[in-house]
Amino acid sequence: MRVLLVDDEEELVTTLAERLNLRGIDVDWATSGEGAMQLAKSNPYDIAVLDVKIPKISGIRLKNELVKIRPGMKFIFVTGHGSEDDFRAGTAEAGAGYYLAKPVNIDILIQKMGAALRDKEEE
């Protein structure tokens, strides 16, 4: 499984990447939408884990751009700013099963990534 993590909080994204790497998951990370799109152009990812609120571009808008680059990639949204509007937008875009609140529980994230991969295989 190859995963792209995108969050503007560098400490959070690097820690999460490290924890996933320790579990044998191949992870790259970016702290901006631009950085994420550059990585996606160079690397095939199975899943992108996107913060809903990224400076200059929302996670949902970034998802729409990444789909153009890598059709078939699955998405999980995370947020630390869970307003009702954000929750509705995120669950409408990703499905309730693929929307998590911060702090992210690593075991639940891995379960969600597995479910997303199973969905991808069924398509």
- Give the whole-angstrom CA distance, residue 71 versus residue 78: 21
Average pLDDT of the residues in 44-57: 91
CA-closest candidate to residue 28, choices 11, 43, 10, 9: 43
The values of phi and psi at residue 98, to 5°, are -120, 35
Indicate the average pLDDT of the chain. Answer: 87
Can you give the pLDDT at residue 86? 60
Q: What is the pLDDT of residues 83-118, one digit of tens each?
A: 556 656 655 655 545 778 888 899 999 999 999 888
DSSP assignments along 20-82, one per residue: HHHTT-EEEEESSHHHHHHHHHHS--SEEEEESEETTEEHHHHHHHHHHHSTT-EEEEEESS-
2-118 has CATH 3.40.50.2300 classification: yes
pTM of the model: 0.87
- Give the whole-angstrom CA distance, residue 38 versus residue 112: 25
Residue with tokens 């690593």: 106
Cis amide bond preceding 44, omega within 30: no
How far is CA 115 from each of CA 27, 82, 109, rounded to the nearest angstrom? 17, 23, 10
Instruction: Give the DSSP H or E segment for 4.
Output: strand 2-6
